[in-house]
Amino acid sequence: MDIAKLTDWGIPAEQIKPLIIAGPCSAESEEQIMQTATELAEMNVPIFRAGIWKPRTRPGSFEGVGAIGLQWMKRAKQETGMLTATEVANPTHVFEAIKTGIDILWIGARTAVNPFAIQEIADSLQGVDIPVILKNPVNPDIDLWVGGIERLYNSGLTKLAALHRGFSGLEKSPLRNEPQWQLPIELRRRLPNLPLICDPSHICGRRDLLSSISQKAMDLDYQGLMIETHCNPEVAKSDKEQQVTPEILKHIIDGLVIRSTQTDDLDFQRGLAELRTNIDRLDTSLLELLGKRMEVAQQIGELKKENNITVLQSGRWDEIVQRVQMRAAKFGFSNEFTDKLFKAIHEESIRLQEDIMN
């Protein structure tokens, strides 16, 4: 894909890395919009965001002010010079936003799960030169995320970016949405030219964790951050726990450590090349060991078949989990990593034994 650079969006190069997109979760009043936008403009934030239409889980909660809020965004742009961005969920939203002069559109996680909705938005944007940011779907489906980008690109849009806001899960966690960093990393592998932006507000769900998640995104070479910022978060009509004041946002930004992606230091390059060679050698050894383990698993499958024994032995699996967790802890591995690794190995062993059985 021939994806445009962020500088092609009309954003000065010095305001990128990190690109900051900030503003309230929801536009609530003209006064709130203007006060927040004015304070952010004084911080040199290039893009002002606000939700106009708010998709809510249940009816009866605050669902946004509607199109009138676009007029407040227009005034904010005129008086501060910032670009403006809002969420769209259907072609009507697209039409209203473009008519009012909104500069950047984003598509939310609830819309991203529906290919029909994405296609309708893509069709409505044919022939329109406007940046569009696609959030990850609420469920951890990398193909769905990539497919949404492809639909938008096929409609003629090249000013595209992906927004990582985390994924819904059933397990309890200090975070609102699990980041599952491996998924945006895979997205970047598949679409290396696509700008990647992090939404720590929705990952955290609480303001006290924003700094650490924002730094994590920078360490993973994200191009920007979208952080919900409100002039008075305590009275916000939606998601007040995760919004910060412009003053706190400035503290978060100033505290970020921005690292380089490369260096001309020859000693570093030689050292890194040597270590990567060691990694490649160890990877080969790991595969050889796994191959030997699978050979034993096949022998076990043949023995089970001869004696008419089921493939799955739950007691044995529990024994493996407990044993490897105890040993893995000595190497500093987390239980989560150990569980995922040996679950994958166990599933492959079962597959090989099932092939033998059948």
Divide the 358 residues of the chain into consecutive groups of 10 and give the mean pLDDT of each group: 93 90 97 98 97 78 89 97 97 97 97 97 96 97 97 97 92 88 96 97 96 96 97 94 97 94 88 93 94 93 90 79 87 89 90 89
Closest C-alpha among 167, 177, 173 to residue 144: 167
Residues 6+ apart with CB under 8 A from 70: 52, 86, 96, 97, 100, 102
Residues 6+ apart with CB under 8 A from 25: 50, 51, 54, 201, 228, 230, 236, 238, 239, 242, 243
Instruction: Give the pTM.
Output: 0.84
- DSSP code at position 88: -
**Alpha-carbon distance 199 to 214, whole Å?**
8
For the chain, what are the domain ranges? Answer: 6-254, 266-357
**Alpha-carbon distance 206 to 178, whole Å?**
13
Strands 47-49 and 132-135: unpaired
SS3 22: strand
**Domain 6-254 CATH (choose: 3.40.50.720, 3.40.50.300, 3.20.20.70, 3.40.30.10):** 3.20.20.70
How much is the pLDDT for 44? 95
Residue by residue, DSSP assigns 266-279 as HHHHHHHHHHHHHH
Name the burial class of residue 197, with classes exposed (0-12), middle (13-18) and buried (19+) by CB atoms within 10 angstroms of its CB. buried
How much is the pLDDT for 218? 95
Which CATH fold topology does 266-357 show? Chorismate Mutase Domain, subunit A (1.20.59)
Closest C-alpha among 226, 231, 227 to residue 36: 231
Strands 224-228 and 104-107: unpaired
Q: How far apart are the first and last CA of the chain?
A: 44
- DSSP code at position 258: P
Residues 6+ apart with CB under 8 A from 150: 1
How much is the pLDDT for 56? 67
92 half-sphere exposure, CB direction, 13 A CA radius: 4
The amino acid present at 306, given as its one-letter code, is: E
